[in-house]
Amino acid sequence: MLINQNLIALHVDAKTREEVIEALAQMAYEEGRINHMDHYVQAVLKREEEYSTSVGFGVAIPHGKTDAVNEPFLGFARVQGVDWAAPDGNPIDLVFIIGVPEAQAGTEHLKILAKISRKLMKEDFRSSLRKAHTKEAILAIIQETVQ
């Protein structure tokens, strides 16, 4: 399964995108999805340096392809107005993080990214993620998308 309740945070108290990425990576590490926190975080930050993974609408989708990932995963967190160099200039409050092993880098992360991105264009999807009160509710909303 790409995502579970242990890969969801209702509120991450972070001030920077680096802190958000580290918090989400920590969840993935604790869940056994990544084997080396620093290597994964560096891969994601390297991608961020190339181009911000903010897609607008208060959403960012940081991702990394590295051997530090054991199996593909999707993580999610709500944050409080983090600056993510968004194209629309707005702060971020919804973050999806994707991790894919280097060996599967060709298509796997693109499939996940495409499914999430399409759904994120819809206001009702973003709104339901912002209003959900439990990890179970968020998981149900996301699982509909990535099946």
User: Which residues are part of the catalytic machinery?
Assistant: 63
Comparing CA positions, the residue from 33, 36, 43, 34 lying closest to residue 64 is 43
Contact assessment for residue 39 and residue 69, using Cβ atoms and an 8 Å cutoff: no
Alpha carbons 81 and 36: distance in angstroms, whole number: 28
Helix (H, G, I), strand (E, B) or coil at 16: coil
Alpha carbons 17 and 10: distance in angstroms, whole number: 16
Place of tokens 């969840």: 27
Alpha carbons 142 and 119: distance in angstroms, whole number: 9
Place of tokens 């802190």: 19
